[in-house]
A and B are shown apart, each in its own frame.
Chain A
Amino acid sequence: MNKRLLCAAAAGALIALAWGAQSSDASAKDTLPIGVIFPTKSIIGQQGVQGANIAADLLNADGGVNGKEVRLIVYDTNYSPVEGVAAVERLITQDGVHVVAGEISSTIALAAIPVVKAEDALLMLAVPKHPDVTKSDYDRVFRLNTTSTMDAASFNDYLKNKIAPAKIAYLAENNDFGRLTLDDAKKSFGSKIVFTDIFEVKQSDFSALASNVRGSGADLVCIMASNPEQSGNLIKSMADVGYMPKRCLTPGVLNNDFPKVAGAAAEGVFSEDIYAPSIDTDLNKRFVTSYEAKYKSVPGKIELLGFESVWITGLAMRKAGTVTDTKKIAEVLRANPWPTPRGTVAFDKSGQASSDHVYHVEVKDGKVVATQR
């Protein structure tokens, strides 16, 4: 009897699922699906997704794109190229998207490019920083973030001229981004670098590393860690062993979650960024207000890049008058400047974005405060 009941319940559930799928298919006809990929189990990935959601909300509040409501299909890449490629394939071949937006990892971005190229889709990358991302021979790959080389040129000059350290320690996460940052630092500072170390992306206990860097006697410690759990725990561990030199994070990774993790040890940590939530423009105010209303926190740079990856895509589709012709959308993207919360963004021939401003950011009284440089 129990088995019969179970079978009946299972059949009922299947019918309900099929009905639901049919309903969603019907509603999907009037929507524009845009694929979004991020490592959604990480904080930084969630920040990107939330930014993308706000872009979809604002585009839809303005009447959608070419008469269609923007609908985001979000998949987790889990910092794994295998999972990232599978997510992109599924988005294009099963979900029928023509544009894939988002992502944090350069490794995943580089792995996804051949898949996107094979399907004539467009890839609008949010965060990946490796220079090679926009050096493929495919003309429909765009990147919103600055590259690590662009960051190094700007930030390292600032460190040399304004901070003028005698001994520098560089600590970086073990990925392409981290290793590139170390290489750029060695080129910029030469023998002033007295200590370097690379840690795993999933490491959470930094007591040993903090003790080693204290032993180096560096008067400036620079940290390259994408996740605030890691940069925050590392700074906290350094404070635990009584080591508080000048401390900076490499550009673009100092956000509002960092002081939450590091606590009092975060005070005075500085960096550089392309975005500050205090920028006084109508679009930025709209972005920040919408984000705060939906997620009860202030958006940072990752949220902005997630936002831009969908926002600029939507604007370009409107201007191109098509949601499927990715070649035309790519041409329109390169040919026009795009208004975003950080100012105006333009793409060069390679698909690399640039914008108007750079901000000095620093933790003061537990908050990240920005001043324009």
Chain B
Amino acid sequence: MFDLVLQQLANGISTGMIYALIALGLTVVFGVMHVINFAHGELYMVGALCSVMLTSRLGIPYILTVPIAAIAGALIAIVTDRIAISPVLPRKDGHALVLITTFAASMLINETVVASAGPGPIPSPGIGGWVLSLGPVALSAQRLLVIGVGLLLVIFLQLMLMRTKFGRSLRAVAQSAWAAEVVGVDVRKIAFLTLALSGLLAGLAGALVVPIVTFSAAMGSHAIINAFVIVVIGSMGSFVGAVVCGVALGVAESIASIAMSSDASSAIIYSLLLVALLLRPQGLFARSAR
């Protein structure tokens, strides 16, 4: 039993880091622009598609496809911004309208992929099939990569946020776009870069996760729900919150699956969301947000 708990702990950390990777891009857009981007899941899907297409059709080594997929995610995010966010955000009720326009954009991206690449499945080789075994605990190389990159990313993003001019501008816009503009911050440029960063993170997540879950056109819409839950519980706009809550939820799900069926353990996520919203609606990491 102890062996199983250890294995589930390792599984939970890797599953949780997958959740966190997807949630990182979502949380930065909400934190800075106060926009809920429903198309974020499709950016993650596009990153995954880009990676599998480059490996399966062009024979490019997997590891080289990861940065390309991240750039593809950023480009699609910029296009989404141009057609579905920037034109409606300045309007009255712009933030409500964005929910609908980004949802429309997500459908457009998804249908385009289904029509051109099909629904899948397209497997990805990842970094190889070897498995790290430590006593009773086994984790595949790809899962270890996801955990490693996830940790590095959150450190990098946190440093960028606190130590760079761009990070300071980002935090200024997050606190008040009007005040930031008054002190000379180019708010439109920051918004543009924020969207691009979120797309970059989503594309990166897609490329890292696809060898584990296999590409399908529906993977974005499936992933976005958990990502929203993590962003809400971990405080909208908090990188650390996204990673800590992502991992915590992954571990909770995995450990719970020992005692209950897989579908019932998924209900844990939504129970935690409800409890978090009732007890701490601003999120667990509200102080460190922004």
Contacts and interface: CB of A to CB of B under 8 A. Distances in A.
Nearest to B140: A240
Contacts of A58: none
A228 B114 contact: no
Given A211-B7, A229-B121, A242 B262 contact: no
A208 B8 contact: yes
A264 B261 contact: no
B138 A233 contact: no
Given A205-B212, A208-B257, A212-B257, A40 B114 contact: yes
Contacts of B121: 43, 228-229, 232, 257, 260-261
Given A204-B213, A208-B254, A197 B123 contact: no
A20 interface: no
B175 to A, nearest CB: 36
Contacts of B114: 40-41
Nearest to B215: A229
Interface residues of A, number: 34
B271 to A, nearest CB: 16
Contacts of A264: 129
Interface size class of B (residues with CB under 8 A): 35 or more
B290 interface: no
Contacts of A350: none
A214 B110 CA distance: 36
A3 to B, nearest CB: 15
B138 A240 contact: yes
Contact of A232 (B11, B18, B214, B262): B214
B253 interface: yes
A40 B212 CA distance: 23
B218 A202 contact: yes
Interface in A28-45: 40-43, 45
Contact of A42 (B18, B133, B218, B266): B218
20 contacts: A41-B119, A43-B120, A46-B119, A174-B263, A197-B261, A198-B261, A198-B262, A200-B262, A204-B216, A205-B212, A205-B213, A207-B14, A208-B8, A208-B254, A211-B7, A211-B11, A229-B213, A233-B214, A240-B143, A260-B123
Interface of B: 3-4, 7-8, 11-12, 14-15, 18, 110, 114, 118-121, 123, 129, 131, 133, 138-140, 143, 212-214, 216-219, 222, 253-254, 257-258, 261-263, 265-266
Interface of A: 40-43, 45-46, 174, 197-200, 202-205, 207-209, 211-212, 214-215, 228-229, 232-233, 240-242, 257, 260-261, 263-264
